[in-house]
Amino acid sequence: MKASRPLDAGLQLERTTLAWRRTMLTGACVALVCAQAWIKKPSLWVLVTTVMVLLSVCASGLGLIQRRRSCHKHPCDPLTPQTHVLAMTSATIAAAGVASLLVLIAPA
């Protein structure tokens, strides 16, 4: 038997959408900083870091679009699954972190 939950008419859906937007904009700023670092001192690992951060920005943008669409289609359902987008964002951020660590330990 499924337990019924009371509908919370708060702003959780809007806050989630705004969180996706903040994540995307923060990632875009980090990508710009990485690109600037790559222009000043070209390195393979800095380029890999920049590409991974840009992929993370794209994944966050995809999550933002999906979240908006699901909120408009089903405004009463706060549990819309976007696990694949979250996994892709997490994986690209982790890969960017590993690449940026390799920049620090790689010989100059």
Q: Which of 44-48, 64-68, 103-107 reaches the highest mean pLDDT? A: 44-48
Domain that holds residue 94: 13-105
CB 99 within 8 A of CB 49: yes
Is pLDDT at 77 greater than 70 in this prediction? no
**If DSSP codes are grouped into helix, strand and coil, which group holds residue 79?**
coil
Does 3 fall in a domain? Answer: no
The span from the CA of 89 to the CA of 40, in Å, is 27
**Total domain count for the chain?**
1
Q: Which of 54-58, 61-65, 74-78 reaches the highest mean pLDDT? A: 54-58
Q: Using one digit for the tens of pLDDT, what is the confidence trace for 15-57?
A: 777 887 888 898 899 999 989 999 998 988 889 889 988 988 8
pTM of the predicted model as reported, rounded to 2 decimal places = 0.71
